[in-house]
Structure 1
Amino acid sequence: MDLFASPPAEDALDLADSLWHWMLTSGVRIVVILLVAALLSGAASWLLRRFFRTMIEGSSKLTSTAGFVVKRDRRALMAAQARRAQRAETLSNVARNVASMSIWAVALVMVLSEIGVNIAPVIASLGVLGLAAGIGAQTIIKDVVAGVVMLFEDIVAVGDVVDLEYATGTVEEINLRVTQVRSVDGVLWTVRNGEIIRIGNMSRGFANAVVLLDLDPASDNTQVTEVLEQVTAEFTTDPAWVDVVQGDATVSGILGVDGSHVQRRVLVQVAPGEQWGVEQELRRRITAAFREAGVSFALPRFSDVAQKG
C-alpha cells in the first residue's frame, strides 16, 4: 500500500468546495468584522480627539462673572492653557486606547465565533473575572471616575488655591486618582478624588478682599466712615492696583458694638489670588490714615490677654 498516494479526486473537490463555501460565508463575515472594527476604531479616535480639542478651546476662553471679565497674568494664562492641553491630551490617549481595545475585543470574540470556537465559556470566564476585579477595585474605580469628571469640567487646575475640606492650599498635581495640595505650612496633602465631596476654589472668577476693623467705642462713626471712604477711593484709583481691583470698595456700617469695641468692615472685589496682598495694603493705608485722623483702634480685652498668657 502506497502511503503517499494522492487522495481521490472526489475528496479533493469536496475539500475545495468546503473551503470555498467557508470563504464565501464565514470568511467574508470575518473580513467585514475586521473592516468594521477598523472603521469604528478610527471613527472613535477621531471623535474623541475632536472632543478633547473642543474642550481645550472652550476652557481657554475668558469667563465672565458678575459682569466682570476675569483678568489674569498672561504668563499664568499660558501656563494654565498648557496644563489643560497636557491634561486633555492624556485623557484623549487613555480614552482612545480604551475605545480601541473594547472595539477590537468585541471583534476578536466575533471572529472566534465565526471560526467555530465556543465562546460561551470565554465570555462567562471574562464576566467572572470582571466582577471580581470590579469588587476588588471599586475604590480605585470610584477615584478614577471622580478624577475624570473633575478634569472634564475643569473644576480645579494646577496652581489654584482650593479648600478640599480635607486640605487647603495650592494645587500642585492632579491625576485620575488623587489630587495633591500644598498647604501654607508646606505640607503636601494627597486627597483621593473619590473622597472629595466639595471644592472651594479661591482662584476662579473673583475674590473679595475683606478687612475687619475693631475700633474704640469712643470713635466718631462719621469721621471713621469719611476716612475709610477716602482711603478706599485712593486705593481703587491707584495705577499700581487698578489692574487688580475689579469693583468699587464697600464700606460697611457698624457691624457690631459692645463695651470694648465697634466693628466695621471694608470689602473690595479683586482678581482671584490677589485678595491677601490687597488686604495687607488696605490695612497699611487704613492704619496710617487713622493715625493721622486721630482714630483709635480698640484695646484688647482682658479676657483675650489672659487667654494668650
Structure 2
Amino acid sequence: MTPVISTLRTAAPTAVTPTPAPTPSPSATNTESAVEDTIKAAADAGSSFWEWFTGWPLHILIILVVGLLVLALLRRVIGHVTERIATGSGTTTTEGGPAWRRYLQRTPFVEDAIAMANPLASQRRAQRARTVGSVLRSTANIVVGTIIALMILAELQVNVGPLVASAGVVGIALGFGAQALVKDFISGIFLLVEDQFGVGDVVDLGSGATGTVEEVQLRVTQVRAFDGTLWYVRNGEILRAGNMTQQWSRAVAEVRVPLEADVDTVRVALGRAADDVQADPELSPLLLEAPSVRGVDAVNDITMSFTLHAQTRPGDQWEVSRELRRRAQEELRAAGVLVPSADAEPAVLEQETEA
C-alpha cells in the first residue's frame, strides 16, 4: 500500500493557472463602430428632418389643410342653402319660440302666393337659386385659393408685393379688354338676384325681343318669340325689361262701336259681357278682381272706343281678354248696336297679339 500512496502523492495536481480572455479581432471592432455610426447618423438625420419639417413645410401643410377645410365648409353651406331655396323645402310654422324664428317661418304674402300659382315658378326659382349658388361657389374658390397661394408664397420668403401689384395691373388690362363680357356677367348676376324675370315669363327686352323667357344665363338670356324666333339677348345690353307675367297681370279688351251708337246702351251691354265672364266657372279662377267697363276712351270720325279690363293671374290676361271681346261682341249684337249693313260700318274689335 505504501508504494501506491507515495505514487498518488507524487501525482497530485498542481495549481491551475487562469486562461487569458480572447482578444477581439479587428473585423468585429469595425462592425461595432459602423453600427454605432449608423445609429448616430440616423438620429442626427431624424433630428435634422424634424427641425426642417417644423419650419415652413409644416406651416404650408397647415395652411393647405385649414384653407381646404374652410373652402369645403363654404361650398357645403352655399350648396345646402341654394338647394333648399331651389326645392322650396322649409320648416313648418310653429307657435311660440323667438320672435325672429316666427318671422322667418311666417306665411307667404299674397304676391308670393300669386307667383307660386305659376306652374313654372318652381323651375324659375330653382334655376335662379342654382345659378346664384354656382356664382357664389366660384367666388369662394377664387378668394380662398388666392389667399392660400399668397400665404404659401409668404412662407417661402417670396415677396408677394410685386405679384399683387402685377396682378392688379393685369386685372385692369383684362377689365378694359373684356369690359363688355364683364358687364354682361355682372348684369346677369343682378338680373337673377333681383328676380327681374325668369323662366316662363313673357317679357319685352327692347329691340324687338319680345316673347317667353326660356333660359336665363349669366351672359345671355334666351327669349322665344310668338312666331318661334329664339332671341339671344346679352344681359349687358338690356337697358329696360318689361315683365308681363310677374305677380299679377291685367286683361285689357278695347272695343270700338259706331259713332252714332247710344253710350248708355253700349255700357250696359258691355257690363253684361263682363258679368258673364266673371260668372264663367272656367274663367273665374283666373280673375283677381271683377271685370269692369270704363267710359268712352277715344272718339274718331266713325267710331267710339270703350275698354273692358280685369286683374288676372300672371300669364292669363290674354285668355281673359279674348273672352271679354267675344262676349262684348255677342252682347252688342243682341242690343242692336252692331247691325250688319252695307251702309253702316260694323264695330271693330281691337285685336291684341299675344306675345
Is the pair's TM-score, using the shorter chain for normalization, greater than 0.5? yes
Alignment of 1:112-151 (within 5 A): 112-151=153-192
1:305 is matched with: none
* Structure 2: gaps (5+ residues): 1-36, 91-106, 348-355
Please say if 1:283 is aligned against 2:325.
yes
Q: What SS class does the counterpart of residue 146 from structure 1 fall into? A: helix
8 Å CA contact 1:170, 1:182 repeated in 2: yes
Counterpart selection for 2:67 from 37, 54, 58: 37
CA distance in 2, matches of 1:70, 1:59: 18
Q: Distance in 1 between matches of 2:239 and 2:192?
A: 15
Higher mean C-alpha displacement, 22-31 vs 229-238? 22-31
Work out which of the two has the higher radius of gyration on C-alpha atoms and give 1 or 2. Answer: 2
1:157-168 paired onto structure 2 within 5 Å: 157-166=198-207, 167-168=209-210
**CA-CA distance at 1:246 after TM superposition:** 1.4
Does the 8 Å contact 2:86/2:127 carry over to 1? no
Q: Say if 1:123 and 1:275 are closer, same or farther in 2 by CA, change over 3 A.
A: same
Deviation, structure 1 residue 185: 2.7
Match for residue 46 of structure 1? 76
1:299 and 2:345 correspond: yes
Name the SS of the counterpart of 1:243 in structure 2. helix
| Distance of aligned partners of 1:47 and 1:110 in 2 relative to their CA distance in 1, 3 Å threshold | same
Q: Distance in 1 between matches of 2:115 and 2:159?
A: 63
Residues 128, 193 of structure 2: 8 Å contact kept: no
CA displacement 1:209-231 (0-9 Å, x = unmatched): 11112222322222222111111
Q: The residue matched to 1:255 in structure 2 has which SS?
A: strand
Show the counterpart of 2:114. 70
Q: Tell me the TM-score normalized by structure 2.
A: 0.70
Deviations 1:46-76 (A, max 9, x none): 33224424543679996524xx952776xx5
- Answering whether residue 299 of structure 2 is matched by residue 253 of structure 1, we say no
**Aligned equivalents of 1:179, 1:203: Cα separation in 2:** 17
1:212 corresponds to: 254
Q: What is the DSSP-based 3-state SS (H/G/I as helix, E as strand, rest coil) of the residue aligned with 2:281?
A: coil
> How many angstroms apart in 2 are the aligned matches of 1:88 and 1:262?
49
- Aligned equivalents of 2:127 and 2:300: distance in 1? 56
Give, in angstroms, the shift of residue 26 of structure 1: 3.0
Counterpart for residue 213 of structure 2:
171
* Deviation by residue 1:169-218 (Cα, 9 ceiling, x = unmatched): 11122111011112223322211101112211111122111111222232
CA distance, structure 1, for counterparts of residue 153 and residue 180 of structure 2: 34
What residue number does 1:191 align with? 233
Contact conserved, 1:164 with 1:196, CA < 8 A, in 2? Answer: yes
**Mapped partners of 1:201, 1:208: distance in 2:** 12
The within-5 A match list for 1:51-62 is 51-53=81-83, 55-56=85-86
* Contact 2:251-2:312 within 8 A present in 1 as well: yes
Q: Unpaired runs of 5+ in structure 1?
A: 1-5, 302-309
Once residues 291 and 224 of structure 1 are traced to their aligned partners in structure 2, the CA distance between those partners, rounded to angstroms, is 10
Of 138, 147, 152, the residue aligned with 1:111 is: 152
Question: Given the superposition, is the C-alpha separation of residues 93 and 265 from structure 1 closer, same or farther in structure 2, using an over 3 Å criterion?
Answer: closer
Residue 267 of structure 1 deviates from its aligned partner by: 0.8
Report SS of the residue matched to 2:285.
Answer: coil
Offset at 1:273? 1.6
Superposed displacement of residue 88, structure 1: 2.7
Secondary structure of the 1:252 match is strand
Whether the 8 Å contact between 1:209 and 1:267 is mirrored in structure 2 is yes
Task: Report what 1:304 is aligned to.
Answer: none
Distance 1:46 1:112, change over 3 A: same
When normalised by structure 1's length, the TM-score is 0.80
Structure 2 letter corresponding to 1:212: E
Output one character per residue of 1:240-291: Cα deviation in whole Å (capped at 9) or x when no partner.
2111111111111222335422222111111222222222211111111111
Report the CA distance shift for 1:101/1:154 in structure 2 as closer, same or farther (over 3 A). Answer: same
Distance 1:123 1:178 in 2: 32
Change (3 A) 1:113 1:269: same
Which secondary structure state, in structure 1, belongs to the residue aligned with residue 305 of structure 2? strand
| 8 Å contact kept, 2:288–2:311 | yes
For residues 32 and 246 of structure 1, do their structure 2 counterparts lie closer, same or farther at Cα, with a shift above 3 Å needed? same
| Alpha carbons of structure 1 residues 292 and 88: separation in structure 2 relative to 1, 3 Å | same
Between 1:263-272 and 1:44-53, the stretch displaced more is: 44-53
CA RMSD of aligned residues (A): 3.3
